[in-house]
Structure 1
């Protein structure tokens, strides 16, 4: 289980979708989706203040990422 902060924060203003709703969606479709993402490179673009605010590309895997997530330098 993952601890989530600010689950009621609206991250998609046009639809009013909250961070909690996005998490619920990925929880529901995650197992099926992951089959299609296996062995593919991942780029993480983050929008901490929602999609209407400026985001950034996370270049490095954080120390807390599990070992099964490969790293390429």
Structure 2
């Protein structure tokens, strides 16, 4: 899992957790695609590992959301 420590992927993972907890994994997928589109527009290459890191963070956030909702309801 050394790929997750490269570049700014830890930020992708950490910033996606609150988005996943507040919204859904689909919202996080849109965020990930939007961030990669922005990177591509500024001349960088499309990076699927950035998207994977963002989605992992979104899954963690979604699990937190499910646990909280299960405890409340």
Give the TM-score range, shorter chain.
Answer: under 0.3
- Which structure has the highest strand share of the two? 1
Which is higher, the Rg of structure 1 or of structure 2? 1
Larger RCO: Structure 1 or Structure 2 (Cα < 8 Å, ≥ 6 residues apart)? 2
- Which structure has the highest helix share of the two? 2
